[in-house]
Amino acid sequence: MRIRLLAGASAALFLAACSTLPQPAPSAPPAAAATPAAAPTVHGIAEAWVSAETPAEELDSLATWTGEDGGTWLIATGKSSHRLVVYDAETGRQLRTFGSEGSGPGQFNRPNGIAVYGDHLFVVERDNHRVQVFTLPDFTAIGSFGDDILRSPYGIWINETEPEELEAYVTDSFMYGKKYDVVPPWDELGQRVRRFRVQFDQAGRLRANYGGAFGDTHEQTALRMVESIAGDPANDRLLIADEDTRHASTLREYSFSGRYTGHSLPQDAFGAEAEGVALWTCPDGGGYWIAVDQLAPLTIFHLFDRLTLEPRGSFEGNVTAHTDGVALHAIATPRFPGGVLYAVHDDKSVAAFDLRDVVATLGLATDCVH
């Protein structure tokens, strides 16, 4: 995430807040102990392609969408350009942009997290404090939600709970202090992840209801700075990246009910901010979690076992650095018959890694790419 200035109507309220770190809460229950581990071996895997650079966009998060014709788009949020950038997911060629700066339908103010479910596109806007929803491929705006609840939203993950009903998990990383880099008091960190129930009626209209918030509030295990979030419904598991390197940047495990399990992926797995998180599922029920270590000159991608969360290997590309968002597209395409991992490169382009190369290099299960 890298600490960013917050704009919007609520900023004046934040300036009045305490400019020192909050006092610790009462002693927390003991968290699961992390076993120190040796530095992982980092393998090299060349990118299949890297798109042309567009530094003015300040790209952040990624999502894919496949149309009726079988063609796939890679959609990225541009934080500084206040718009979306659409790429051909096979080649990395830019196809179009959509949106402009503003607060109306089809306009954005610091778009960040993005998710696709079916033909619906969800875009989190940090400085409009909302999630805007569109239909694809025409980017028709059908509504928004959260503007009365969200304070500084960043990431989003969508889960289908029932037919025609979704649950949206949105990370809310509001901060205090003159530079908006002061972690809120511990009791407020129970609002780090907010839930919304989302439905579409027969006419395609959006309905959304707030379902409450969650987050651990103990000093050692609270979610201090949050953005990336992803889930695994089959195993009742959410992984949420805490990016605060001043404490311990790590992935924390929650249940779908919002309960912190006491388990975190070890701090020594990340040399920088824990960032983009994606789940790669395999036909036998296994698979891998992919998490970004936001390093320069080269990003490191860590893989963890889907079930046990044990490390399964790490790799880096030839050029990909300072990655924010990732998107895993496990559906076969002509260019990537085994699937593909997309990653933002240094806020200015996107890169693609062939999953067949990842499997071969790290010695992973071959049925994951067939």
pLDDT tens digits for 95-139?
A: 999 999 999 999 999 999 999 999 999 999 999 999 999 999 999
Cβ-in-10-Å burial (0-12, 13-18, 19+) of 23 comes to: exposed
Distance CA 111, CA 18 (A): 28
> Does residue 297 belong to any structural domain of this protein?
yes
**Contacts (Cβ under 8 Å, ≥6 apart) of 336:** 48, 90, 329, 352, 354, 355, 356
Task: Give the model's pLDDT for residue 266.
Answer: 84
Closest CA to 15 of 25, 5, 23, 24: 5
Does position 350 have pLDDT exceeding 50, yes or no?
Answer: yes
> Does residue 27 belong to any structural domain of this protein?
no
> Does residue 136 belong to any structural domain of this protein?
yes
> Does residue 174 belong to any structural domain of this protein?
yes
Distance CA 212, CA 199 (A): 17
> Does residue 290 belong to any structural domain of this protein?
yes
> Does residue 237 belong to any structural domain of this protein?
yes
Question: Count of domains in the chain?
Answer: 1
> What pLDDT band is residue 20 in, cutting at 50, 70 and 90?
very low
**What is the largest distance, in Å, between two alpha-carbon atoms of the chain?**
57
User: What CATH code is carried by the domain that includes residue 49?
Assistant: 2.120.10.30
Structural domain including 238 reads: 11-20+39-369
User: What would the mean pLDDT of 76-83 be, rounded to a whole number?
Assistant: 98
Does position 46 have pLDDT exceeding 90, yes or no?
Answer: yes
Does position 9 have pLDDT exceeding 80, yes or no?
Answer: no
> Does residue 52 belong to any structural domain of this protein?
yes
> Does residue 34 belong to any structural domain of this protein?
no
**Residue owning tokens 């179009």:** 96
